[in-house]
Amino acid sequence: MARQPGAPDEQPSVLLAVGSLLQSEIDVDVLLARIVDLIAEAMDADRATLFLVDRERSELYSKFAHLPEIEEIRLLIGQGIAGHVAATGEVVSSVDAQSDRRFYNEIDEATGYTTRSVLTVPVFAHGEPKTPAEDDAAQAPKV
């Protein structure tokens, strides 16, 4: 029987693997790259990307990605599905990415890869604003 991505019986093993990494891995880059790999494997995804926010440039950039064709992806906050998630803090699951109006197909054009479906989830640092609007509100002068 084919395994179902994200099946409930697999979730504890991913969590246990991440917990084990947190206890043993000190290099944050190595830790995050391994977590991206574990999540891709658990979701049975051929590719996965972790984007970070460059607040000074109002952009997202790929920090850890399964992208053999290109070194980095940069998107404006609000551009593409990942940019939408960064702007809104919403989770987006699209079973037909090519038909999703938010999908930014220039990355597929550059890589020759065809994205079929995407699951995009925001990840927040503790104490950090969750969206650009919250960031602006946090920086506004208090009266």
Encode pLDDT of 62-114 as tens digits.
Answer: 999 998 899 999 999 999 999 999 999 999 999 999 999 999 999 999 999 99
| Kind and range of the H or E run holding 65 | strand 59-65
User: For residue 115, which phi and psi values (nearest 5 degrees)?
Assistant: -75, 125
Q: Are 50 and 82 in contact (CB under 8 A)?
A: no
Residue 142 has pLDDT above 50, yes or no: no
Asked whether 48 and 65 are in contact (CB, 8 A), the reply is: yes
Q: In which band, very low, low, confident or very high, does the pLDDT at 60 lie, cut at 50, 70 and 90?
A: very high
Cα distance between residue 12 and residue 136, in whole Å = 37
Q: What is the largest CA-CA distance in the chain?
A: 62
